């Protein structure tokens, strides 16, 4: 796990992918690989960036190594092995291109049997509203990583409220600059510090309907 963490920090995507495959062959779970290697690696990269030791090119290659690793985990996780349990719409808010946390959330939800509509990153409020109308999800999961884009979440919630859709869908938010206080302030139903908390909340929403 430590070796994988270092490979991601160094941005060595091919070697990281090969090691992920090996670890999965050895029986390591997706949760363990993410929790013990990939997420700590991105935390370290963030620190190096903050300390001025890493610049954007290093951030990009590390993020690419992380994403390739996540892709291979996704490919090798047994799809459709879990009964469909609910529907979720996920996306990163407008102006924000950080999508790794959102992708992890989508993966965790899929792993729990959710049908996930992933709107991608840089998603405008109207797109969230349109997706809620079209797909009628149980939950919407929004992600923001910048202190400048977290305010967009308020616009999305207001737009969902205004369209009269909030009574039929729960809204959860997450991302590094957020807090449960902020989530409450903007009218979100839930703040999750990580994708596992998001997945558990989404499960509880569906369970409360049955
Ligand atoms: C990788 C990265 C990038 C990559 C993103 C690649 C990609 N495809 O995502 C690139 C290089 C493109 C990038 C660009 C920029 N970045 Co950047 N980036 C990061 C970095 C290092 C890691 C982010 C990450 O992926 N973490 C790993 C994931 C797993 O964590 P996460 O997203 O937080 O998700 C977890 C939880 O928050 C939660 N979660 C997330 N979403 C949701 C949603 C729900 C519903 C729930 C329940 C949970 C949940 O679950 C996840 C864990 O399970 C962070 C530093 C850091 N440590 O966060 C900086 C960071 C976020 N970036 C930063 C900055 C400043 C930028 C730029 C403005 C840089 C620039 N000068 O251009 C641009 C902005 C581009 C844009 N418009 O979005 C700052 C933000 C400062 C701030 N507070 O606003 C940070 C904090 C770096 C720093 N220390 O200064 N970045």
Distance 31 CA to ligand 1 centre (A): 20
What is the CB < 6 Å shell around ligand 1?
39, 42-43, 45-46, 49-50, 56, 59-60, 63, 95-102, 104-105, 141-143, 145-148, 172-177, 192, 194-195, 197-198
Distance 152 CA to ligand 1 centre (A): 15
Residue of minimum CA distance from atom 11 in ligand 1: 60
- What pLDDT score was predicted for residue 82? 52
Residue with the bigger pLDDT between 82 and 123: it is 123
Task: Give per-residue pLDDT as tens, 30-68.
Answer: 888 988 998 889 889 888 988 999 988 998 899 899 889
Q: Which of 89, 94, 87 is nearest to 113 (CA)?
A: 87
The DSSP element (H or E) to which 40 belongs, if any, is: helix 39-50
Nearest atom (ligand 1) to Cα of 172: 45
Nearest atom (ligand 1) to Cα of 192: 47
Task: Give per-residue pLDDT as tens, 94-109.
Answer: 999 999 889 888 888 8
Place of tokens 């206080």: 181
Strands (DSSP E) along the chain, which ranges? 86-92, 114-118, 139-143, 170-174, 190-191
- Angle in degrees, CA 83, 66, 146, rounded to 5: 95
Residue of minimum CA distance from atom 65 in ligand 1: 146
List domains and CATH numbers for the chain. Answer: 2-76 (1.10.1240.10), 86-209 (3.40.50.280)
Distance 193 CA to ligand 1 centre (A): 14
Task: Give per-residue pLDDT as tens, 126-174.
Answer: 999 999 999 999 999 999 999 999 999 999 999 999 999 999 999 999 9
């Amino acid at each position: 796990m430590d070796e994988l963490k270092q490979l991601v920090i160094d941005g060595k995507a091919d070697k990281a992918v090969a090691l992920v495959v090996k670890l999965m062959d050895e029986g390591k779970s997706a949760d363990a690989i993410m929790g013990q290697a990939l997420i700590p690696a991105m935390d370290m990269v963030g620190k190096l960036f903050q300390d001025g030791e890493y610049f954007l090119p290093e951030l990009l290659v590390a993020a690419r190594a992380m994403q390739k690793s996540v892709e291979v985990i996704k490919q090798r996780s047994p799809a459709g092995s879990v009964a469909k349990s609910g529907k979720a719409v996920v996306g990163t808010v407008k102006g924000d291109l950080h999508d790794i946390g959102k992708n992890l959330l989508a993966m965790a939800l899929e792993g729990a049997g959710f049908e996930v509509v992933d709107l991608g990153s840089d998603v405008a409020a109207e797109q969230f509203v349109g997706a809620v109308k079209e797909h009628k999800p149980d939950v919407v999961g929004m992600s923001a990583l910048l202190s400048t884009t977290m305010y967009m979440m308020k616009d999305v919630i207001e737009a969902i409220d205004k369209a009269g859709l909030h009574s039929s869908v729960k809204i959860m938010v997450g991302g590094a600059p957020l807090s449960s206080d902020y989530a409450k302030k903007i009218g979100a139903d839930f703040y999750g510090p990580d994708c596992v908390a998001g997945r558990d909340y989404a499960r509880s929403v569906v369970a409360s309907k049955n």
